[in-house]
Structure 1
Amino acid sequence: MSAPNISRRTTHLFSLISLLSLIAGVNSDEIQSVLAIKTALQNSNAKVFDSWESNNPLCSFKGITCNAAGSVQQIDLSSQYLTGSIPFDSICQLKSLEKLSLGKNSLHGRVTEDINSCVNLKYLDLGNNFFSGSIPDISSLSGLEYLYMNNSGFSGTFPWSSLQNMTGLIALSLGDNSFDLTPFPNEVAKLSKLNWLYLSNCSIGGEIPAEIGNLTELINLELSSNKLTGEIPLEISKLTKLWQLELYDNQLTGTLPVGLGQLVNLEYFDASTNYLEGTLSELRFLSNLVSLQLFENNFSGDVPEELGDFKKLVNLSLYTNRLTGSLPLKLGSWSDFDFIDVSENFLTGSIPPDMCKNGKMTELLMLQNRLTGEIPASYAYCATLTRFRVSNNSLTGTVPSGLWGLPKVNIIDLAVNGFEGPITSQIGAAKSLAQLFVASNRLSGELPPEISGASSLVSIDLSSNLFSGKLPAEIGSLNQLGNLHLENNLFSGEVPASLGSCNAMSDINMANNSLSGKIPASLGSLQTLNSLDLSRNQLSGPIPVSLTSLRFSILDLSHNRLTGPIPPALSIEAYNGSFAGNDGLCSQNIKYFQRCSSDSRRSRDLHTLIACFAIGSFVLLVSLACFFYLKKSQTEHDRSLKEDSWDVKSFHVLSFSEDEILDSIKEDNLIGKGGSGNVYKVELDNGVELAVKHIWNLDSGGRKKTRSSTPMLAKDTQKSREFDAEVQTLSSIRHVNVVKLYCSITSEDSSLLVYEYLPNGSLWDRLHTCRKMALDWDTRYEIAVGAAKGLEYLHHGCGQPVLHRDVKSSNILLDEYLKPRIADFGLAKIVPANVTKDSTHVIAGTHGYIAPEYGYTYKVNEKSDVYSFGVVLMELVSGRKPIEPEYGNNKDIVSWVCSQLKTKETVLSMVDTSIAESFREEAIKVLKIAILCTARLPTLRPTMRTVVKLLEEAEPCKLVGIIVTKDGGSKKEGLKEKNTDLI
C-alpha cells in the first residue's frame, strides 16, 4: 500500500473520530436538557420517566424520538398525568426539536418567553392543562404547522399578530380559554392552509368576516360559545371540504346562507342556541349529515322531506323553534338512528314509524307539538330506548303494550294527549323506568300489581284519567318512589297501608277519587313526606295521630267522611281549609269545627266540679293573676338564663359582655321566630346593634330540655342539631356577603348565637311583605351578585365545600346599604374532604325552593343550592313569590317562568312592573341565568362560580351575552333537552 493511501485513510479516521466526539458531546448536552424535564416534572407519578436515566441511550427514553443524527426531534409526553411547570429554557436547547406534545396533563404555571427559542418547532401541543396568565408573543415560531393550546387556563389577550408569520399552519386550536373579548381576528382568515380551526369559547365577538371563505382547506370549523353577532356569511359556502361546522351558542341572526347546500361533505352541523330564522330549505342537499342540531332558534316552515332519505343521519335536534308541517315518514329508516328531539314546535302529522328500524335508537322526544295519530307499534320492540316523550300533543289510540315494558327506558311521558286503554302488566319488565307521566289522557283499567317490578320508579303521575279499581298493595314495594299522583280518577277501595314502606316518598296526591276506608297510620312513618292530598274521596275514621310527626308543606284531607278530633299538632293556621267538608271532625282550636267533648259521666262530673270551684275562687284568681304571671315569668327567665352556667366562645373581638346579652333576651326585644328558636334585637350601651338567636336544646322527644326533664342517655342531651350546624359553619367563615357570627353562648338548657344586626331585614320582606319597598334594578342586581358571591364562597372558597341547603329570599339579609348577607345556616352541612362526588342524604329546604332531585333521590349537593338560588333570581326579576295560586296546582315559579317562554312579549311581561322600562332587557339577562340554575337535571346547572361570572357579564348597561363555560372538548354534551326538562 502506498504512502498517500495510508495518509488519506488516516485523515478519514481522524475525521470520523472527531465527528463521533462532536456527536457524543452534543448527545451529552441533550441528555442534560432532557433530564431537566424529568427534574421539573419530578412530582409526577407517571412511569413514563422510568427509562430516563443518564446511563441509558437518549433515543431509548420513552416519549423521545431522535433523527438520523441522533438528536432529539420529538418529545411526546401527552396524556401521562404529568404535573409541574414546563422548563422551556432547557427544552429549547434541543436545536433539532420539531415536535413538543405535552397535552392532556396537569401542567401549571406560566408559559414563558423562553418558548421563542424553540425556533424549529413544527408541532406544539400544550392543550388541556392548567396554565395561568397570558400567552407571550410567539411570532418567532414561524415554522409551526400544528398549534394546540385549547382548554389550558390561559387568560388575557392572545397575541394574534404572532400568527402573521405562521403561514404554514394546518391546525389551530385555542378554544376554551378565558381570553379578553376581541373581534374575529383577521390574522386567522389569512391562514390559507388551515384544515382544522377550533376557536370555541374563547371570547371572540363581532361578525364572522367574509374572508372566512378564503380558508378553503378547512375540514373542521368550530366557533361555538362565543359572542358572535350578525349573519352567517355567504362566503362560508366556499368551504366545500368542511366535515364539521359548529356555530352554536352565539348571537347569530338572519337565515341559513344561500349556498350552504354546497357543503356536500358536511357531516356535523350545529348552529343551535342563536337567533337564526327562515326555513331549512338549504339543508336539502346535505345528504351526508350524521348530526344536525339547530335547536333554540326561530326557524319556521317545514322540515325538508329530503331528510328522510339521508342515509347517515343518526341525530336530529330541532327543538324550540317554530317549525310546521309533518316530519318525513322515512326519517331514520336508513341508518342506525339514535336520537331525535323536535319538541316545542308546531309540527303536525304522525310519528315517523321506522326510526328504530335498526334497533339502535335511544331517545325520542317530540313533546309540545300538534302531532296526531297513534304511536307506531314498532316502538314497542325498540329495546334500546331510554327516553320516550310525546306529551302535549293530540295523539290518540291505544299505547302499544310492549312500550310499557321496554327494558332500558327510564322515562315514559305521554301526558296531555288522547290515549286510551290500560297500562298493561308488561310494565313489570321496565326495570330501568324512573318516571312515568301519563296525566290528562283517557287511559282506563286497573293499575296492574306487576308495577312493583318497575323497581326504579321515582315518579308516577296518572292523574286526570279514567283509571279505576283498587290500588295494588304491591305499590308499597317501590322503595325509590318519591312522587305518586293519582288524582282525578275513579280509583276505589282503601289507600294501601303498604305505602308506609315507601321510605323515599315526599308527595302523595290521590284527590278526587272514590277511595274509602281509613287513612292508614303507616303514612306517619314516611319521614320525608311533605305533601299529602287525599281530598274529595270517601275516607272515614279518625285522622291518624301518626301524621303529626311529619312536617307538611301541603296537607289536604278535605271533603271526606272523617270523624273524631283533629290532632292538636295539625290544628294550626297553616292547615286552614285542610279538613273542610268533614262534618264528623271536631277541634279544640279551629273555630269553625264543633268542639270535641267526652261522653264519660266521670268527665262531665269533673267539669261540673271544676266549674263550681272556678266560680267560688273567681275573685281570688282575678286579684292574684297578674302577680303570679309576672312572678312566674321573671322566675323562669332568671332560672333559664341568669342562673345557668354559660360557656362563651368568641369568633371575633368582642365589645360586649355576656351579661349585656343575657339581660336583653326578653319579650320586648323579640323581632322574629323561626323553626329553631327566637331572634332578639340587642342594642349595646355603645350603640352597636346585634341580633341574638335563642335556641332551646331539645330532649329525645323533641321537647325543650330543662333540668327537670327525665334523665336521658348522653346522646339525647346534645345541643340542638341546628345550633351545632350553624356554629360549625359560621365560626370558620369570613366573607362580606355571609352574615358575621360574633360568638356563641351555651348552657345545659339553651344556646345563644350572637350575630351582626342587619337593619333592613330580609330580601323576602322587601319583595313580598308589608315591609315591601321599591327596589330599582341596580339594587336588585347588586343583591343578586352579592348573594351569589356569598354562596360561591361557601361552595368554592372554604377548606371544604359548605352546603347551605335552605337558600331562599328570607335567608338573604340586607344591611343599611341593602348589601346582602347569606344567613341562617341551621341546615348547612360541610361536605367531608374525602367525599368529592357524593351528596348528603338529607331532606331539607323550603317548599318552592327545593330542587327537583329531592323528589327522586333525596340527596343534596352544591347544585341543589344553585337551584334554590335560581328561584331567588326569579323572585328578584318578577317580584313574585315562589308559590302563588296563579301558577296552578302543584306548580311553582319555575314552571310558571317556563310556561311564559313563548314570545318576546310574554317573556318581558314576567319582569316586575316596578322595574323601569329601560332595564327590562337587563332583567331578562338575569332571568336567563335563573333558568340555567333551575335546570331539572343537576348536571346541567352551572356552578356558583360560573353563576357569579354570568351575573357579572349581565351587569346593567353592559352589552354582553350569556356564556356557559364548558368543561372541555369541542362538543357540547347534555344540552339536547335543556328546555324540555323544565316542563
Structure 2
Amino acid sequence: MSSLTDRRITHLPLYLLFLLVCLLSTAAADELQILLKLKSTLQASNTNNNIFNTWNSTNSVCSFTGIACNENGFVRDIDLSNQNLSGFLAADAICQLESLETLSLGFNFLHGTIKEDLNNCVNLKYLDLGNNLFSGSFPDISSLSRLEHLHLNYSGFSGTFPWKSLGNMTGLIRLSLGDNPFHQSPFPTEVLNLNKLIWLYLSNCSLGGSIPKGIGNLTELINLELSYNNMIGEIPSEITKLTKLWQLELYDNQFTGTLPSGLRNLTNLENFDASANLLEGDLSELGFLQNIVSLQLFENSFSGEVPTEFGEFKKLVNLSLYKNKLTGPLPQKLGSWSKIDFIDISENLLTGSIPPDMCKMGTMRGFLLVQNKFTGEIPANYAKCSTLKRFRVNINSLSGVVPPGIWGLPNAHIIDLTSNQFEGPITSDIGNAKMLAKLVVSYNQLSGELPDEISKATSLVSIVLNNNRFSGNLPGSIGDLRHLGTLYLQSNRFSASIPDSLGNCNLLSDLNMAENSLSGDIPSSLGSLPTLNSLNLSQNQLSGEIPKSLASLRLSLLDLSHNRLTGAIPESLSIAAYNSSFSGNSGLCSTDISSFPQCSSGSGMSKDVRTLIICFSAGSAILLVSLTCFLFLKKREKDEDRSLKEESWDIKSFHEISFTEGEILDSIRQENLIGKGGSGNVYRVLLANGKDLAVKHIWNTDPSDRKRFKSMAPVLAKRGGKLKEFNAEVQMLSSIRHVNVVKLYCSITSEDSSLLVYEYMPNGSLWDQLHTCQKMKLDWETRHEIAVGAAKGLEYLHHGLERLVMHRDVKSSNILLDEFLKPKIADFGLAKIVQATADKDSTHVIAGTPGYIAPEYGYTYKVNEKSDVYSFGVVLMELVTGKRPIEPEFGENKDIVSWVSSMLGSRESILSMVDSYIPEVNKEEVIKVLRIAILCTARVPELRPSMRSVVQMLEEAHETFKLLKIVISKDGAAADKKMKVVKGIEN
C-alpha cells in the first residue's frame, strides 16, 4: 500500500502537467472560437487587404493579424483600428478573453449599441472605440479599474455619460471623450481626482458651467482640450499650475474676463487656442511663451498692442488674432526666426508698417492683414514667397508700387489689394501666377496697360480692377481665360475697342466696362456667351449698331447708355426692363420705345424686318386672340403688379440703405423674376447705383380673395394681428449678422403683401452649381469650403443668437454663393414668417422639401434644430456624390440617405459613391465628410450631432498636421493625436 502511494506521489507532477496542458489546450480552443465569433460580426471593407485573411482555424490565434499574445500564449491585445471595418461589437464574446489588456477598434464604421457586457473585461488597460458610428448610451464601466487609456471620441454615443464610473480608474493616463452628443452636464468632478492624467480631451461633448479650480490638481497634464462646449466664467488662475501643458484648447465657449495672471508659467505650451470666446484685456502674459507654435485668439475682444516678444518667437507657425481690438504696430521681427505657415490679424486697429520677414523661411501659405490701418509699402521680400496661396491686405492705407513678383506668385489662389493707395502697373509677372483664381485690386491708384501676359494666368475666375487709373488697350488674348466668370473694369481709362475674343470666355457671367474711353463697335461675339447675366458698357465712346446677337441673351442687367451708338434698338431688347439701358445715345431709334425717335425705313431697318412688320399687321387678328388667351393666363401676375402700385407701403430698414421704396416696387416685374418657391417669388432688382438686390415677394392672402377681403373689416383686423407677428419675426431675423448668412436689408409691407429685400448672390445656389446646366466642376477644396461655410451659418442660427432660429428648409438651393463661391444661408426662418402671414385655419406650413425632410416629421409633424441637421447631412451627401436627393437610380420610394446606407457594405462601394469630378487624392478626406453626413442623418434626432459639432468635424476632416506621436508610458506605448486644423479667416 505504501509503495502504491509512493508511486502516485512520484507521478503527481506528471498528472498536474498533463492536466495543465489539457486546460491550456482547452483555453486556446476557446479563444480561437471567441475570435472567430468576433470575425463573424465584423466585415472588412477593403477586400484587397483583408485583415481577416489569417483568421482561420488552421492558424494559432497568436498569428492572427492584429492579435498579440502574452508569454503564456493567451490573447493580450486586439488592435483592429483603422481597418475600414463595419458591423457591431460583440462585447459578450470579447470579454471572455480573460487576459485581454488592449482592445483597439478606433477609426472604423462600427455601429449599434454597446451592452453592459463590456464591464466583464476587467483586465483592460487600453480601450479605444473612437471614430465609429455607435449609437445609444455608453454603459457603466466601473469594474474596469485597471484602465489607463479610454478613447471614445467621435464614436456616436449619446445620452448621459456615466461619469461616476471614472471614480475607480485612478490609474487613468489618457481620457478622450470629445465629439459625442452627450446630454449637457457641468464639468465632471470625478475627473479632478485622476491625478495621473496626461491627456484630457473633452471638447464638443456638451459640457456647461465653469472650469473648476480643482483643474490645478492635474499637474501631469500635457494636453487639455475643452473646446466647442457651453462653458462660461473666467479661466481659473489654477490652470497656470499645469506647467507641463503642451496644448491648451478652449475655443468656442463663452469664457469671459482676462487671460489669467501666471499664464507665463506654461513655458512648455506649444499650442494655445482660446478663440471665439468673450475674452478681453491685453496679451502681455503670452509674451513669455517662447515655445509657442500655434496661437489662436481670434473673435474675442482683446485690446492693447501685440507684445514685442512675439517677434522673438523661434517656433511660431500659426498666428490668428483676427476680429479683436488690437492697436499699435506689429513687432517688426515677427516671423523672422520661424517657419510661419499662416498669419491672420485681420479686422483689428493695427497701425504702422508690415513686418518684412514673415516669409523669411519660405514656408508661408496664408498672409491676411485685412481691414486694419497699416501704412507704407508692401515689403519686397514677399514677392519671393512662392509658397503663398492667400495674399490679402485689402482695406488698409498701404501705398507705393506693388513689388512685381507679387503679381506672379506661382501658388497664389487669391491676391486682394482692394481699398488701399497702391500705384504703378500690373506687371508682366502676372503670367507666372498659374494658380491664381481671384485678382481683386479695386479702389486703388494703379495705372498703365493691362499686360498681355494676364492671359497666361489661365486659372483666373475673377478679375476685379474697377476704380483705378488703368489705360490703353485691353489685351486681345483675354479670351484665353476660359474659366473667367467676372470681369470688372469700370471706372478706369481704358481706350480702343473691346476685344472680340471675349466671346471665347464661355463662363463669363458678369461683365462691367462702364466709365472708360472704349470706342469702336460692340463685338457681336458677346451675344454668344451662354452664361452672361449682366452687361454694363455705359459711359464710353462706343459706336455703331447694337448687335442683334445680344437679343439671344437672358440678361438681368443691360446698360449701354451714354455712348455713341446708332441705328435701331433691336426689337427684342425694346422691353420695359431695359427702358433706361439706351439713354444718352442720340443716334438710336426705336419702333417701341417712345422716348426714342421712330425708326424710318432708312434707319437701319432691313427689308426682312419690314416684311416681318407687314406680316405682323396682316395677322393681327390671330395674334389678338392669342394675346387675349395669354392675358387670361397671366391675369394673376398683372393683378399682382397692379396691386403693388395701389397699396400703401411701410418700409422698415435694418441696415443703412441707398435705395427707395419706389425703386424696389418698380422692379417687381415679370421680366425681373429669377425664382419661384412655396413662400413667394424672387426678383432681381438693379439699383441706380449699380448694386444688385434680391427681393422676395410674399402674399399675405390668396390673390383671388383680395378684392373680397378689402370689404371685410373683421378679416382686416385679424390680418393686422398677423402683420404684427410678421413684423416681429422679421425684426428678429434682421438682427442676424454673420458672414455665412444672407443679409436682410429691409422689409416693405402692406395689407396684402410683404417684400423682403436681401443682398444678391451672383453665383446662384449650390443646387445650380451641382445639378443644373449652370453647374461648375467644383473641386474638392471648394466643396469643402462651401460645406464648412454653410455649416457655420447654420451653427450661428442655432447657437449664436439669444434664441434659437430654426431654418426649417435647409437644402442646396437655399445655400447661395457669392462672387467668390462663398456660401450664405438664405430663407432662414422664412417658414415661420409665412406662417405669420397666413390665416389661423390654414394648414399650409412649410416643413421642408422632399428628399431633405427629417423622418420624424412624418410621425410627429414637429421639427427642431436636429431636423435642420438632418437636412444639412443630405446637402453633404450631395457635395460628396454630386447626386440629387432623389434620383431614379435609388429605386422607388428611396432617397439619397437610404441609398448611401445601402452602399456601406464594402470599401469599393463606398468609394464608388464619390463624385467622379473629385480626384483620387482627395477621396480619403471625402469619406470622412461622408461619415459626418451619415451621423447627421441618423434616424433618431437625439443621435445627430449639433451644428457646432458638425463645424468642428468638417474642419478636422481637412486637417493639415500629421499625427503627432507622444510617448506616454514606460513600455513605449504611444498615443496618436490628430491636431486640429488651423482655422483662418476666409474673407
In structure 2, the residue matched to 1:843 is 774
- CA 1:103–1:382 in 2, change beyond 3 Å: closer, same or farther? same
Contact 1:840 1:860 in 2 (8 A): no
Deviations along 1:2-55, whole A, 9 cap, x unmatched? Answer: 999987663322221111111111111111111110011146446111111112
Q: Which of the residues 774, 777, 791 maps onto 2:723?
A: 774
Deviations along 1:878-918, whole A, 9 cap, x unmatched? Answer: 9xxxxxxxxxxx999999999xxxxxxxxxxxx9xx99xxx
In structure 1, the residue matched to 2:533 is 530
Correspondence 1:22-37 to 2 at 5 A: 22-37=23-38
Deviations along 1:216-273, whole A, 9 cap, x unmatched? Answer: 1110011111111111111110111000011111111111111111100000001111
In structure 1, the residue matched to 2:984 is 976
In structure 2, the residue matched to 1:408 is 411
Take 2:937 and 2:36, find their aligned partners in 1: how far apart are those partners?
Answer: 43
In structure 2, the residue matched to 1:671 is 636
Deviations along 1:485-507, whole A, 9 cap, x unmatched? Answer: 11111110001110000111111
Is 2:243 the counterpart of 1:256?
A: no
Take 1:167 and 1:354, find their aligned partners in 2: how far apart are those partners?
Answer: 49
Structure 1 unmatched ranges of 5 or more = 638-664, 675-721, 731-736, 740-756, 785-806, 819-826, 832-837, 845-850, 879-889, 899-910, 916-924, 954-958
Correspondence 1:382-531 to 2 at 5 A: 382-531=385-534
Contact 2:416 2:440 in 1 (8 A): yes
Deviation, structure 1 residue 213: 1.2
Is 2:507 the counterpart of 1:558?
A: no
Take 2:223 and 2:604, find their aligned partners in 1: how far apart are those partners?
Answer: 93
Contact 2:44 2:83 in 1 (8 A): no
- CA 1:71–1:960 in 2, change beyond 3 Å: closer, same or farther? closer
- CA 1:323–1:184 in 2, change beyond 3 Å: closer, same or farther? same
In structure 1, the residue matched to 2:953 is 966
Deviation, structure 1 residue 808: 15
- CA 1:853–1:559 in 2, change beyond 3 Å: closer, same or farther? farther
Cα RMSD (Å) = 5.1
Take 1:385 and 1:829, find their aligned partners in 2: how far apart are those partners?
Answer: 28
Deviation, structure 1 residue 588: 2.3
Contact 2:520 2:541 in 1 (8 A): yes
Opposite residue 953 of structure 2, the aligned amino acid is K
Opposite residue 158 of structure 2, the aligned amino acid is S
What secondary structure is seen at the aligned counterpart in 1 of 2:295? strand
What secondary structure is seen at the aligned counterpart in 2 of 1:236? helix
Take 1:116 and 1:872, find their aligned partners in 2: how far apart are those partners?
Answer: 41
- CA 1:49–1:262 in 2, change beyond 3 Å: closer, same or farther? same
Deviations along 1:616-650, whole A, 9 cap, x unmatched? Answer: x9xxx9xxx9xx7899469x97xxxxxxxxxxxxx
Deviations along 1:514-554, whole A, 9 cap, x unmatched? Answer: 00001101011111111111111101111111111111122
- CA 1:829–1:340 in 2, change beyond 3 Å: closer, same or farther? closer
Deviations along 1:676-733, whole A, 9 cap, x unmatched? Answer: xxxxxxxxxxxxxxxxxxxxxxxxxxxxxxxxxxxxxxxxxxxxxx9xx99xxx9xxx
Take 1:778 and 1:962, find their aligned partners in 2: how far apart are those partners?
Answer: 33
Take 2:128 and 2:605, find their aligned partners in 1: how far apart are those partners?
Answer: 93
In structure 2, the residue matched to 1:93 is 96
Take 1:267 and 1:858, find their aligned partners in 2: how far apart are those partners?
Answer: 31
Contact 2:790 2:823 in 1 (8 A): no
Correspondence 1:551-590 to 2 at 5 A: 551-590=554-593
- CA 1:405–1:894 in 2, change beyond 3 Å: closer, same or farther? closer
TM-score, structure 2 as length reference: 0.69
What secondary structure is seen at the aligned counterpart in 1 of 2:487? strand
Contact 1:291 1:313 in 2 (8 A): yes
Matched pairs, number: 759
Deviation, structure 1 residue 669: 8.9
Take 1:507 and 1:343, find their aligned partners in 2: how far apart are those partners?
Answer: 29
Is 2:234 the counterpart of 1:231?
A: yes
Take 2:380 and 2:83, find their aligned partners in 1: how far apart are those partners?
Answer: 50
Take 1:113 and 1:537, find their aligned partners in 2: how far apart are those partners?
Answer: 79
Structure 2 unmatched ranges of 5 or more = 640-672, 681-697, 707-715, 734-743, 756-763, 806-816, 826-832, 838-864, 881-925, 958-977
Is 2:58 the counterpart of 1:55?
A: yes
Moved more, 258-267 or 177-186: 177-186
Take 2:605 and 2:423, find their aligned partners in 1: how far apart are those partners?
Answer: 61
Take 1:872 and 1:120, find their aligned partners in 2: how far apart are those partners?
Answer: 46
Take 2:785 and 2:532, find their aligned partners in 1: how far apart are those partners?
Answer: 17
In structure 1, the residue matched to 2:158 is 155
In structure 1, the residue matched to 2:16 is 15
- CA 1:870–1:138 in 2, change beyond 3 Å: closer, same or farther? closer
In structure 1, the residue matched to 2:337 is 334
Contact 1:842 1:858 in 2 (8 A): no
Correspondence 1:708-857 to 2 at 5 A: 760=701, 774=723, 776=725, 780=729, 839-840=770-771, 842-843=773-774
Deviations along 1:110-159, whole A, 9 cap, x unmatched? Answer: 01111111111111000000001111111121221100001011111111
What secondary structure is seen at the aligned counterpart in 2 of 1:457? coil
Contact 1:507 1:531 in 2 (8 A): yes
Take 2:794 and 2:357, find their aligned partners in 1: how far apart are those partners?
Answer: 43
Take 2:561 and 2:210, find their aligned partners in 1: how far apart are those partners?
Answer: 62
Q: Which of the residues 318, 322, 326 maps onto 2:325?
A: 322
Deviations along 1:330-376, whole A, 9 cap, x unmatched? Answer: 11111111110001111011111111111111111101111011111
What secondary structure is seen at the aligned counterpart in 1 of 2:506? coil
Deviation, structure 1 residue 960: 12
Deviation, structure 1 residue 320: 0.8
In structure 2, the residue matched to 1:642 is none
Take 1:601 and 1:158, find their aligned partners in 2: how far apart are those partners?
Answer: 82
Take 2:59 and 2:536, find their aligned partners in 1: how far apart are those partners?
Answer: 78
In structure 2, the residue matched to 1:693 is none
Contact 1:539 1:560 in 2 (8 A): yes
Take 2:404 and 2:56, find their aligned partners in 1: how far apart are those partners?
Answer: 68
* Bigger Rg over Cα: 1
Take 1:131 and 1:500, find their aligned partners in 2: how far apart are those partners?
Answer: 55
Opposite residue 555 of structure 2, the aligned amino acid is F
In structure 2, the residue matched to 1:301 is 304
Take 1:601 and 1:565, find their aligned partners in 2: how far apart are those partners?
Answer: 6
Contact 1:518 1:542 in 2 (8 A): yes
Take 1:209 and 1:48, find their aligned partners in 2: how far apart are those partners?
Answer: 45
In structure 2, the residue matched to 1:733 is none
In structure 2, the residue matched to 1:597 is 600
Contact 2:253 2:276 in 1 (8 A): yes
Opposite residue 399 of structure 2, the aligned amino acid is T
Contact 2:790 2:824 in 1 (8 A): no
- Identity over aligned residues, as a percent? 54
Deviation, structure 1 residue 190: 2.0
What secondary structure is seen at the aligned counterpart in 2 of 1:403? helix
